[in-house]
Amino acid sequence: MQCSPGRAQGIHQHRNGVYQDQHDMVRLRRYTRLNIMDETLQQQDASGMAWNLDQIVTELRASRELTRNIRHQGRIHKLPSRKALLGIVEGLCAVLFPTHYGRTDLNETNIDYFVGHTLDQTLPLLQDQVRRGLVFTSNTDTQDDRSLTDRAGRITSAFASRLPTIRAVLVTDLQAAYRGDPAATSHSEILLCYPGMTAIIYYRLAHVLQRLEAPLIPRLISDIAHASTGIDIHPAAEIGSHFFIDHGTGVVIGETTVIGKRVRLYQAVTLGAKRFTEGEQGVLIKGEPRHPIVEDDVVIYAGATILGRVTIGQGSIIGGNVWLTQSVPPRSHVVQAQMRTSATIQPNSIKAQPTDWEA
């Protein structure tokens, strides 16, 4: 259909008007931006005169170099990178569960290539981070960079060889989550949606590096998991297979905690220390056993706090919001009311049936 000349001319004039209006709007926005930038620069120039940057920089240097030097051995070292470690852990997760954390288009013909290629890209990066962490061991004065690189290579190689074992244990954790949560519809849902599973994966990786005596890197990996999930698991804690953290936010598991098999924790559970032994000059003694031992098949409900080197007997259930600083025998059922009225817990006094729970 063709337009009449009059209609075409009207459309042309209308479009010209629109174009002119748009052109004016662009010029107005550009002029406004320039004015704002000019005012901002003027304010920065005016305030910069009062900042006295030279003196601040000088005093900060004096604090770093002289009065409050906190660097290892007093020197500048290339620290491990949280950003690099995040990429490394993501690569390791992709190796362990390629179609979930790697690429969704993988198939039987290319999945092994993807795993091998990802390892080839990730392991050298991990070795470099481990080498940086080794700088912070106490005997680095006698080690040159070459020896640190060689040691980092051995640690990384040993870690890589344990990846199949790590995955095997993680599958038991995945199975425990599926069996223990009626809301879980599939293993894929747990891998993709459950923060507790993410925290456990990061813990399993960090724990192996901790056992291989790679300093600092395991703590950084655990803190990355803590930041993203709200779950704080020290990499030195010992945790058995089929471990499940449901919901998970606020869970804390201390350094010397020992957890058996088939243990389930809910959100805001703390497995912490009750007291600390001081050494000379009031410095706390490092590495002393001070966290709970949780035996097999224990369930600890939301908000429970268990402190000190106490033992939670096999098959026990610890109720929500219980504050516990003493050991309990196997198959115990501890509730808040008991903790308010009893100084000690005897096996015969423990309520063993779910119907006996007290609020």
Domains of the chain: residue spans and CATH: 79-231 (1.10.3130.10), 237-359 (2.160.10.10)
Going 140 to 288 to 311 to 198, the CA torsion angle's sign is negative
The model's confidence at residue 27, banded by pLDDT at 50, 70 and 90, is: low
Q: Tell me which residue has tokens 């990178």.
A: 81
Which uninterrupted H or E stretch holds 239?
strand 238-239
pLDDT in tens, 165-197: 999 999 999 999 999 999 999 999 999 999 999
pLDDT digits (tens, 9 = 90+) for 38-72: 666 666 565 555 788 888 888 888 888 877 766 66
CA distances (Å), origin 55, targets 62, 219, 231, 336: 11, 36, 42, 58
- Cβ proximity of 327 and 313 under 8 Å: yes
The alpha carbon of 190 is separated from its chain's Cα centroid by a whole number of angstroms, namely 17
* pLDDT top residue among 112 and 359: 112
In angstroms, the CA 75 to CA 56 distance is 22
Cα–Cα dist 219/133, whole Å: 11
Average predicted confidence (pLDDT) for the chain? 85
Specify the pLDDT at position 350.
Answer: 47
Output phi, psi for 259, to 5 deg: -120, 130
Q: How many CB atoms lie within 10 A of CB 221?
A: 27
As a whole number, mean pLDDT of residues 94-112 equals 96
